[in-house]
Structure 1
Amino acid sequence: MTDSEERETPAQDDAKKARARRLAALRGAERILGMHGVDTTIGERLAALTDAAWTVAEPGRDGDLYGDGIVADLEERVARLLGTEAAAYFPTGTMAQQVALRCWAGRTGNATVALHPMAHPERHERGAFTAVSGLRTVHPTTEPRLPNADEVRDFAEPFGALMLELPLRDAGYVLPTWDELVSVTEAARERDAVVHFDGARLWETTTHFGRPLDEIAALADSVYVSFYKTLGGLSGAALAGPRSFVEEAKTWRHRYGGQLFQQFPAVISALVGLERELPRVPEYVAHARVVAEALREAFAEAGVPWVRVHPEVPHTHEFQVWLPYSSEQLNEAAVTQAEETKTSLFRSWWEQGPPGLSVTEVTVSARGLDWTADDVRAAVADFVARIPGTA
């Protein structure tokens, strides 16, 4: 490789500098709606994990070896939470779902998976289902919501598995109603298809559905959950379902390279998340609804010509905000606000759809619970005044 090939392009260099500036502003903020693990330094993350570790693990205990010990403890806990016979720990959700759908394809004799085109495997995994596992994907709907029962029941070709992402993140963290979810799973089974839940953020759905996790999971034949999304773990995922299915999945986990020598740091962080974050998620969801309403009202009061908070009433503690400005304008306003006022209202914006229309995602977690509706309105007024070129 030549020196010129190793050198970053001006655009890459600008992006790196912008990210560094944004992270510095986020870390320096005294008020923020929600922090992510990547917002902290290695030292801060290790200190927090060490401080919490002994609440979920004995310091004198032996480390795990190829999935035993504390890894098995986490698997048993997830199975109990989801009401399934068993669960298997995976280093990534991408691998977990590859394995799940591959196993179901072998059991049903049909390698076609019906899912939404906005689902994570379609949008963010570089065609991994087809490239790695020989699966074929079809889309019962292209609407920015999960498919309904009629769309599943009347789809023009057979499929072996229906995969539902709960919530559908790229559409705005949206969920169906409970009755709609029941109906769509029943429609899949009428077609002799199994149902798999991409439940990376399943932890967030109990408030919207008004049901506990095990009752939600019971609608599916298998469920994947993430430990770093929602729960704040370092990494990792679990695949839950019938015992024979999970045992088969563990075989494929080994074949896919997921039988790691030791995994206790990530596993401990997952257990901490289950212990500390999971009980608070309904509180986050409730407050996200307060924040969303205050945002919508405040942008209207500030004279912004068009704004959309989506969903209008958030289904989880995460939602989208859309504004009619370029991402460059909005990112400058966001980072300047955090730098100068130590209040971070928005993380980052990107343009989507027509030119000049930008979207961001808002997450409300522990640090956001202190925000009142008036605090949100004041922060919005300050943010709007900082948007370049709008004075």
Structure 2
Amino acid sequence: MTDLAERDEQATDRDRAAGMRERRLAAQRGARRVFARFGFQRTLRERLAVLDEAEDVHDLDELSDWYGDGVVEALERKVAGLLGTEAAAFFPTGTMAQQVALRCWAGRTGNPTVALHALSHPEVHERNAFSEVGRLRPVRVTGEPRLPTAAEVRDFEEPFGALMLELPLRDAGFVLPTWEELTEVVEAARERDAVVHFDGARLWESTVQLGRPLEEIAGLADSVYVSFYKSLEAFGGAALAGPKELVEEAKAWRHRYGGQVFQQFPTALSALVGLERELPRLPEYVAHARVVAAALREGFAAAGLPWARVHPEVPHTHDFQVWLPYDADVLAEVSVRAAEETGCVLFASPWNRGGPGLAVTELHVRAEGLEWTVEDVKSAVAEFVARLPE
């Protein structure tokens, strides 16, 4: 294939993907039944309406924030209290927060090597930011679709200054270890004189599977990053929590990285609203995600689909994967068409190739998903399977 033909084909693929995304979002907005309605799928007016609830979480008569004071400091104190840490620092992105955290730890340990999972967010989604920007050296403890084991950490063939654990591990299916496994992994890292950092972008919903409160989970690590938009539906933002001295140094690096933003009050207020409104409901979402997952399995079996997988079989959080033996483009078209024709969105996320003849998507259960009964799920599965090619 010539370079020109290859570029034309790539442009066509991009146009096709953009068109599918537009159809998917339109179907989602027009549907009468969905599992979740995320903030990024709403209009600006609808997003701004979130701030109508801000009066319940912060004094709106105080002066606006100025380079990280006021409401931003109030949010930092709230997060530190929830996680049981000495302090917390607001960051505009998790990518920046984790680079800064691990850069600070590298200065303290004298070792810039960070041990992490091959599927962790910095390795898959951040364009090698650790090495290109953070002067860190990532090494992969394992690539298996699970968290690293204590033995893998203990027996890793080279020294490292920090172990980073993503809880839950999103690209492996939002999976978590057991509490016992997690404590053993942390102990193994400490035996090697390494610090432990939790990538807790979705830590908020991990309490159900781990069977421990947030402060006890966060207490295992030397530092923790949490996201405000992935589960709490804030406009964006993140926090780094840990010892006061580390957080103070992190704030200096935040300034150097360009994260000392003049005003962040809309994002900070939306995060406080999320902590008040969404955080208490996450266990309910996790519990219902398990009901939905079981109904999906039963629905696929009843529809006679020869092979289908829900992973994990019992979801660890309110997000999980669905695997089907079809081409991703076929499943994307069928998912959107079923949503357009029935008004029920079974699969709202993109389908990605998971191997020859296999595709995988993610299913997210939020407040809207609580309205789905077992029979609703099975009916939607039947409608979906009926549209699949024979």
Normalised by the size of structure 2, how large is the TM-score? Answer: 0.96
Tell me the amino acid that sits aligned with residue 183 of structure 2. Answer: V
CA displacement at 1:19 relative to structure 2:
1.1
Residues 1:39 and 2:41 are matched in the alignment: yes
Residue 361 of structure 2 aligns with an amino acid whose one-letter code is T
Match of 2:17 among 15, 18, 29: 15
Q: Using the alignment, how far apart are the partners of 1:348 and 1:201 within structure 2?
A: 18
* Stretch moving more, 137-146 or 347-356: 347-356
The SS at the match of 1:184 is helix
What residue number does 2:285 align with? 284
Q: How far is 1:342 from its partner?
A: 1.1
Q: Which amino acid is the alignment partner of residue 32 of structure 2?
A: E
SS of 2:89's partner is strand
What is the RMSD of the two structures over their aligned residues, measured on CA atoms? 1.2
- Aligned AA for 1:230? S
Question: Counterpart in 2 of 1:248?
Answer: 249
Distance in 2, matches of 1:382 and 1:274, equals: 37
Aligned to 1:364: 365
Q: What whole-Å deviation, never above 9, does each CA across 1:244-288 have from its counterpart, x for those lacking one? A: 000000000000000000000011110010000000000000000
Could you tell me which residue of structure 2 aligns to residue 301 of structure 1? 302
- Rounded to whole Å, the distance in 1 between the matches of 2:14 and 2:206 is 37
1:384 matched to 2:385? The reply is yes
Instruction: State the 1:9 CA deviation.
Output: 2.8
Unaligned segments of structure 2, at least 5 residues: 1-6
Alignment of 1:202-241 (within 5 A): 202-241=203-242
Give the equivalent residue in structure 1 for 2:32: 30
Deviation (angstroms), 1:212:
0.3
- CA displacement, residues 279-336 of structure 1 (integer Å, 9 cap, x when unaligned): 0000000000000001011101111111110000000000000000111221112111
What amino acid does structure 2 have at the position aligned with 1:15?
A
Equivalent pair of 1:334/1:348 in contact (CA under 8 Å): no
1:92–1:236 Cα contact (<8 Å) kept:
yes
CA distance in 2: counterparts of 1:349 and 1:61, whole angstroms: 43
> What SS is found at the alignment partner of 1:344?
coil
Deviations 1:97-146 (A, max 9, x none): 00000000000000000000100000000000000011001112121111
1:343 aligned residue:
344
- 2:95 alignment partner in structure 1: 94
C-alpha separation in 2, matches of 1:87 and 1:264: 17
Match of 1:201 in 2: 202
State the distance in 1 between where 2:354 and 2:322 align.
14
For residue 73 of structure 1, what is the aligned residue in structure 2? 74
8 A Cα contact 1:112 1:161, kept in partner: yes
C-alpha separation in 1, matches of 2:354 and 2:283: 32
Task: State the distance in 2 between where 1:250 and 1:354 align.
Answer: 43
Judge conservation of contact 1:330–1:349 (CA < 8 Å) in 2.
no
Q: Superposed, which structure 2 residues align to 1:122-141 within 5 Å?
A: 122-141=123-142
What is residue 322 of structure 1 aligned with on the other side?
A: 323
Deviation at 1:353, TM superposition (A): 3.2
Displacement, 1:188? Answer: 0.2
What is the DSSP-based 3-state SS (H/G/I as helix, E as strand, rest coil) of the residue aligned with 1:80? helix
The answer to whether the 8 A contact 2:328-2:353 is kept is no
Q: Which residue of 2 aligns with 1:52?
A: 53
What amino acid maps onto 1:248 in structure 2? E
Q: Counterpart of 2:362 in structure 1: which amino acid?
A: E
Structure 1 contact 112–136 (Cα < 8 Å) conserved: yes
Residue 42 (structure 1) shift: 1.4
How far apart, CA to CA, are the structure 1 residues paired with 2:180 and 2:297? 29
Which secondary structure does the structure 1 equivalent of 2:117 belong to?
Answer: coil
Task: Tell me the amino acid that sits aligned with residue 39 of structure 1.
Answer: Q
1:165-198 deviation digits (Å, cap 9, x = unpaired): 0000000000000000000000000000000000
Identity of aligned residues (%): 68
The secondary structure found in structure 1 opposite 2:104 is helix
Residue 41 of structure 2 aligns with an amino acid whose one-letter code is D
AA in 1 matched with 2:226: V
TM-score under structure 1 length normalisation? 0.96
Q: Which amino acid aligns with 2:193?
A: D
Greater CA drift, 50-59 or 147-156: 50-59
Decide whether the 8 Å contact of 2:151 with 2:188 is kept in 1. Answer: yes
Please state if 1:334 is matched with 2:335.
Answer: yes
In 1, the alpha carbon distance for the partners of 2:255 and 2:294 equals 47
Q: In the alignment, is residue 352 of structure 1 matched against residue 353 of structure 2?
A: yes
Offset at 1:15? 2.0
Task: Give 3-state SS (helix, strand or coil) of 1:272's partner.
Answer: helix
CA distance in structure 2 between the aligned counterparts of 1:97 and 1:290, rounded to whole angstroms: 34
Q: Which amino acid aligns with 1:43?
A: R
4+ residue segments displaced more than 4 Å = none
2:57, 2:152 → 1: CA distance? 45
CA distance in 2, matches of 1:201, 1:179: 19
Aligned residues: 382
